[in-house]
């Protein structure tokens, strides 16, 4: 894919080592964020993740389904996934680009396809098959994804997400913020403990 190769050439600018800012500040939501859940949900959970991070893949396979059913589908939480590519950063950034180029309502379908296909990739499966699974879930044609990946705005969006992670003091993936507060325990129990007091009595 020409667009994927173009993104690969630019990824060195994306994958610079994270340096925590002197004063951590989580960037607010913008129209560029991919949001799952009701806009008026009382709790916003922001996840910084990488599609090549095994811990992120584990979370999306083992925790995300129950988390979504309990909190997102019930209107209590809106989830926001932001990119922070990790090694191999070239693959992570390309996967992030495919997800960003999906139809907006299909972003989390692509994220799930990539996270669920992660183990096969790590076991030596072809990279193109992994990308193709994401594209198949995207609601776009390969040509549309190609054109989007070639658009500088796609790379700039990934750069912006990385800068936001640095500003927020994110040191690894996955990292979760619940209504702006970093939560160390990303298990369902840990996130529930952070969320429940914020929705109690509503």
| Phi, psi angle pair for 178, to nearest 5° | -110, 110
Four-residue CA torsion sign, 130, 67, 93, 118: negative
Asked if residue 137 has pLDDT above 50, the reply is yes
CA distance 27 to 162: 11
What pLDDT score was predicted for residue 21? 42
> β-pairing, 181-183 with 175-178?
antiparallel
Would the pTM of this model clear 0.75, i.e. be above it?
Answer: yes
| 13 — pLDDT class (breaks 50, 70, 90) | very low
Four-residue CA torsion sign, 84, 89, 92, 97: positive
Whole-angstrom distance between the N-terminal and C-terminal Cα of the chain? 49
Dihedral over alpha carbons 41, 46, 52, 55 (to 10 degrees) = -90
**Residue-range domain boundaries for the chain:** 2-15+34-197
94-125 pLDDT, tens digit each: 999 999 999 999 999 999 999 999 999 999 99
CA distance 114 to 117: 5
Q: Which fold has domain 2-15+34-197?
A: Glutaredoxin (3.40.30)
| 89 — pLDDT class (breaks 50, 70, 90) | confident
Strand order in 43-49's β-sheet?
35-36, 77-83, 43-49, 175-178, 181-183
What three-state secondary structure class fits 118?
helix
The overall average pLDDT reported for the chain is 89
Segment 44-58 mean pLDDT: 97
| 127 — pLDDT class (breaks 50, 70, 90) | very high
Estimate to the nearest angstrom the gap between the alpha carbon of 36 and the chain centroid: 11
Q: What are the structure tokens assigned to 140, written together?
A: 């776009």
What pLDDT score was predicted for residue 200? 81
Asked if residue 2 has pLDDT above 60, the reply is no
| 201 — pLDDT class (breaks 50, 70, 90) | low
Percent of the chain with pLDDT over 70: 87
């Amino acid at each position: 894919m020409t667009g994927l190769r173009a993104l690969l050439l630019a990824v060195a600018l994306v994958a610079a080592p994270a340096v925590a800012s002197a004063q951590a500040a989580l960037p607010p939501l913008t129209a560029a964020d991919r949001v799952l859940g009701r806009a008026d949900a009382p709790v916003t959970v922001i996840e910084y993740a990488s599609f090549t991070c095994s811990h992120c893949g584990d979370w999306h396979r083992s925790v995300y389904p129950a988390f979504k059913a309990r909190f997102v589908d019930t209107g209590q939480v809106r989830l926001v996934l932001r990119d922070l590519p990790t090694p191999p950063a070239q693959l992570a950034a390309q996967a992030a680009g495919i997800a960003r180029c999906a139809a907006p309502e299909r972003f989390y379908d692509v994220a799930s396809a990539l996270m669920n296909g992660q183990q096969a990739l790590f076991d030596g499966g072809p990279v193109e098959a992994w990308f193709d699974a994401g594209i198949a879930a995207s609601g776009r044609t390969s040509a549309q994804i190609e054109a989007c990946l070639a658009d500088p705005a796609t790379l700039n969006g990934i750069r912006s997400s990385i800068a936001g992670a640095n500003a927020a003091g994110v040191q690894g993936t996955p990292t979760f913020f619940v209504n702006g507060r970093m939560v160390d325990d990303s298990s369902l129990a840990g996130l529930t403990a952070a969320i429940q007091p914020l929705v109690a009595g509503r």
